[in-house]
Amino acid sequence: MANIISIGTAVPEYCHQQADILQFMQQMYGLNEKQKRILAFLYRQSGIRQRYSVLHDFSEKELQLHQLFTAQNGNLSVARRMEIYQSLAPELALRSIQNCLDGVLEPHQITHFITVSCTGMSAPGIDLQLTEMLHLPDTVFRTSVNFMGCYAAIHALKMAHYICTTEPDAVVVIVAVELCTLHFQPEFTEENAASSLLFADGAAAVLVTNQFFQNNNRPIVQLDNFYAKIEWKGKNGMAWQIGNHGFEMTLSSFIPSIIESDIEALVNAALQKSGYTLRDVQHWCLHPGGRKIIDVIEKKLQLRREKTTPSRFVLENFGNMSSPTILFVLKEMMQHKPLHPEPVFGIAFGPGLTIETFTAQLI
């Protein structure tokens, strides 16, 4: 059985209060008074108190930018954004891996290495950069999950599960790192406003193995099953395209409604595959794609508020970091070892509209 032994997380040094980001956006977009009021209302309803970024810009009330978003006739080229990603993402990812492995095992014991990201790409890429930084063997198995968005970490966990099933001695490390704020778009559109309201930067690393490297008093998550489904009616509602000036997000306001209408049947199908019922699940690891998404799942599945507390906590304190976010939530659930195994259900959403889920046990 593939076990999540440890999760390590890392965030950049710049912590921005949501109220400060709102002021930045109101000025950067050049909004009139009515538009400012509408945007302020949306920020107050976001469920986010603070977010982290590799950039200091978003707390600059006077817009004294270091020419990042004012270059290239008011926008920054994809090439320059990728340069920044290549210089900053590896170090952030490395910190999360070090936090994950600290006191558990040494990097040379890693047999399989999976990197996850949708906010930067190159070849050779971050997988090779981190392999070198960690001094991993040049024979290490490595692969990358790219451009899958917020559900990508579950997809990587599925790959790790397959690896551990076929290779009993496998020691798999997954690292998900996203610099979402690099792709801020200064043109005021509904999609750009939604993205600038939600997204943040962060990294999370996971150790998955059949072996036990920790004291048995530490909780682990025993992976069980995976279930994925495409909701075709949301195909164009959540999208991630490479434009001339960064990666451009499409995030329709209809997405929560689609999730609300389909979530019960999807969750029941996923649980049936694992032999669980809704009542069996003790921990709901919901990707906090936005406060409204958490609200509709909580309402539709009739969950008690405490069941969504970890997701709301991560949203409030970190925002939506895309792929690492659900791992932040899962880490919150691993703070205490239960007396008996407790079922976990995880779910995340991404472009497509693709929904990935997993079932597991916290033991």
pLDDT one digit per residue (tens) for the chain, 363 residues: 899 999 999 999 999 999 999 998 888 888 999 999 999 999 999 999 999 999 987 766 555 444 455 544 456 788 889 999 999 999 999 999 999 999 999 999 999 999 999 999 888 899 999 999 999 999 999 999 999 999 999 999 999 999 999 999 999 999 999 999 999 888 888 888 888 899 999 999 999 999 876 566 789 999 999 999 998 887 777 777 787 777 877 777 778 888 888 899 999 999 999 999 999 999 999 999 999 999 999 999 999 999 999 999 999 999 999 999 999 999 999 998 999 999 999 999 988 889 999 999 999
pTM for this model (two decimals): 0.94
- Residue 62 belongs to a domain: yes
Task: Please give the radius of gyration of the chain, using alpha carbons only, rounded to the nearest integer.
Answer: 20
Do 33 and 158 reside in the same domain of the chain? Answer: yes
- Residue 189 belongs to a domain: yes
Query: Which of 209, 232, 266 finishes a domain?
Result: 209
Tokens of 186: 């200064």
Do 347 and 199 reside in the same domain of the chain? Answer: no
Please say whether the beta carbons of 8 and 230 come within 8 A: no
Tokens of 118: 């949708």
- Residue 63 belongs to a domain: yes
Do 189 and 315 reside in the same domain of the chain? Answer: no
- Residue 216 belongs to a domain: no
Do 179 and 274 reside in the same domain of the chain? Answer: no
Residues shown for the chain: 363
- Domain region containing 168: 3-209
Do 263 and 132 reside in the same domain of the chain? Answer: no
The total of structural domains in the chain comes to 2
Least Cα distance to 258 among 328, 352, 323 occurs for: 352
Q: Residue 4: is it exposed, middle or buried by C-beta count within 10 angstroms (0-12/13-18/19+)?
A: buried
Instruction: Check residue 72 and give its pLDDT.
Output: 44
Query: C-alpha angle with apex 55: 46 to 81, nearest 5 degrees?
Result: 105
Do 49 and 190 reside in the same domain of the chain? Answer: yes
Q: What is the SS3 assignment for 163? A: helix
Instruction: Check residue 74 and give its pLDDT.
Output: 53
Do 249 and 344 reside in the same domain of the chain? Answer: yes
Do 155 and 192 reside in the same domain of the chain? Answer: yes
Instruction: Check residue 61 and give its pLDDT.
Output: 54
Query: Which of 187, 209, 231 finishes a domain?
Result: 209
Do 248 and 310 reside in the same domain of the chain? Answer: yes
Q: In whole angstroms, how far apart are CA 248 and each of 187, 244, 280, 322? A: 11, 9, 40, 14
